[in-house]
C-alpha cells in the first residue's frame, strides 16, 4: 500500500517524534480520515524520508518515527528551468509537471515577448503549493525551488556560470537537443524555454555569446508549456 507523503518544515522531526502543522493535521483528520496507528511518510527537504506511525490525530496530530531512509528518486543532476513568463494557468501547469519530471529549480524569466506581469506574492505562494503537492504525489525527496522572477540577461549569466546552458529556440534548425553530449563537467544544467511568442533573435544571440548551446526541440513548433515539459524530460534523460 502506498503511504501518503507530506513535506514538512525543516526541524519538524525532533527526537524521533513529529508534530504536524495545523493545516497538515486538518488534512490528515478531515480529508484523509486517518486514525492513530496509520502510517505516513514525512520529508523535511534533506533527502531523508521518515516512516511515521500516527499516535494522535486531531487539531494537533503527532506521530513517532518507525523508520528512516534516504530518498532514491532525485535525479543525479540539478536542472534549473528558466521559463519565460506565461499567461494564466500555463505557468502553474509547467510548475506541476516539471516538478513531477524532476526539475530542481524553476525561474520565471522576464523577456522581450513575455506579456504577463511579474507574479504577485499570492501567486508565488500558489506556485510553491503546487510544487509541494506535485513533489508529494510523485514521490520526490525534495520540493523544487520556485525562484523570484529574473531579467533575461541576469538569467543567462547565472545559468552559463553554473554549468551548461541549453537554449531552446524554434529558429534553430541544425543543432538538436538530442545531439547534446552528456557531460561530467558540472552537475548543474540550465534550460531556457521562451514565452508564448518565443525568444527574439537578439535574445538567442545574447545566449549564444554567453556560452549557451542553442538547440531545436524538433521540426514542430511546440506551445511554451509543452516545450518546458518535453525539454526538461529530454535533458534529464540525456544528462543523468
Helix 121-138 and helix 90-101, axial crossing angle in degrees, nearest 10:
30
* 86 and 62 inside one domain: no
* 54 and 96 inside one domain: no
Is the per-residue pLDDT at 61 higher than 90?
A: yes
Check residue 169 and give its pLDDT. Answer: 96
CATH of the domain at 92: 3.40.1280.10
Check residue 30 and give its pLDDT. Answer: 95
Q: Average pLDDT in the 116-139 region?
A: 94
**Averaged pLDDT of the chain:** 94
Dist CA 223 CA 100 (whole Å): 19
For residue 179, the enclosing domain spans 78-239
* 193 and 222 inside one domain: yes
Q: What is the pTM of this model?
A: 0.92
Q: Is 218 left (phi over 0), alpha (psi -120 to 50) or beta?
A: left
* 118 and 235 inside one domain: yes
Half-sphere exposure of 125 (CA within 13 A, CB side): 3
- Burial class for 22, CB neighbours closer than 10 Å (0-12, 13-18, 19+): exposed
Is the per-residue pLDDT at 106 higher than 80?
A: yes
Question: Which cell goes with 228?
Answer: 518546458
Q: Average pLDDT in the 135-159 region?
A: 96
Is the per-residue pLDDT at 127 higher than 80?
A: yes
Residue that is last in its domain, among 27, 44, 70: 70
* 86 and 183 inside one domain: yes
* 32 and 120 inside one domain: no
Confidence band (pLDDT; 50, 70, 90) for 184? low
* 49 and 104 inside one domain: no
Confidence band (pLDDT; 50, 70, 90) for 17? very high
CATH of the domain at 24: 2.40.240.20
Check residue 68 and give its pLDDT. Answer: 94
* 151 and 102 inside one domain: yes
- Total domains in the chain come to 2
Dist CA 234 CA 189 (whole Å): 12
Half-sphere exposure of 93 (CA within 13 A, CB side): 13
* 108 and 181 inside one domain: yes
Confidence band (pLDDT; 50, 70, 90) for 183? low
* 146 and 49 inside one domain: no
Residue that is last in its domain, among 42, 70, 98: 70
Max Cα–Cα distance, the chain, nearest Å? 61
Dist CA 207 CA 155 (whole Å): 10
Check residue 116 and give its pLDDT. Answer: 85
Confidence band (pLDDT; 50, 70, 90) for 47? confident
* Percent with pLDDT over 70 in the chain: 98
Amino acid at each position: 500500500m502506498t503511504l501518503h507523503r507530506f513535506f514538512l518544515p525543516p526541524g519538524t522531526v525532533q527526537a524521533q517524534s513529529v508534530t504536524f502543522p495545523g493545516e497538515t493535521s486538518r488534512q490528515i483528520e478531515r480529508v484523509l480520515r486517518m486514525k492513530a496507528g496509520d502510517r505516513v511518510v514525512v520529508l523535511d527537504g534533506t533527502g531523508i524520508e521518515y516512516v511515521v506511525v500516527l499516535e494522535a490525530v486531531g487539531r494537533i496530530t503527532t506521530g513517532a518515527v518507525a523508520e528512516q531512509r534516504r530518498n532514491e528518486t532525485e535525479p543525479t543532476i540539478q536542472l534549473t528551468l528558466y521559463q519565460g513568463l506565461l499567461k494564466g494557468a500555463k505557468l502553474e501547469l509547467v510548475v506541476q509537471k516539471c516538478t513531477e519530471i524532476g526539475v530542481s529549480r524553476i525561474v520565471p524569466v522576464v523577456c522581450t515577448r513575455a506579456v504577463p506581469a511579474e507574479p504577485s506574492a499570492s501567486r508565488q505562494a500558489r506556485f510553491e503549493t503546487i510544487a509541494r503537492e506535485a513533489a508529494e504525489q510523485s514521490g520526490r525527496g525534495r520540493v523544487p525551488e520556485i525562484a523570484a522572477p529574473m531579467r533575461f540577461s541576469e538569467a543567462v549569466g547565472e545559468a552559463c556560470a553554473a554549468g551548461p546552458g541549453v537554449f531552446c529556440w524554434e529558429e534553430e534548425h541544425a543543432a538538436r537537443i538530442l545531439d547534446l553530449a552528456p557531460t561530467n563537467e558540472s552537475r548543474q544544467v540550465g534550460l531556457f524555454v521562451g514565452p508564448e511568442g518565443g525568444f527574439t533573435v537578439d535574445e538567442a544571440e545574447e545566449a549564444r555569446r554567453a556560452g549557451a548551446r542553442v538547440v531545436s526541440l524538433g521540426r514542430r513548433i511546440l506551445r511554451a508549456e509543452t516545450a518546458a515539459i518535453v525539454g526538461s524530460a529530454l535533458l534529464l534523460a540525456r544528462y543523468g
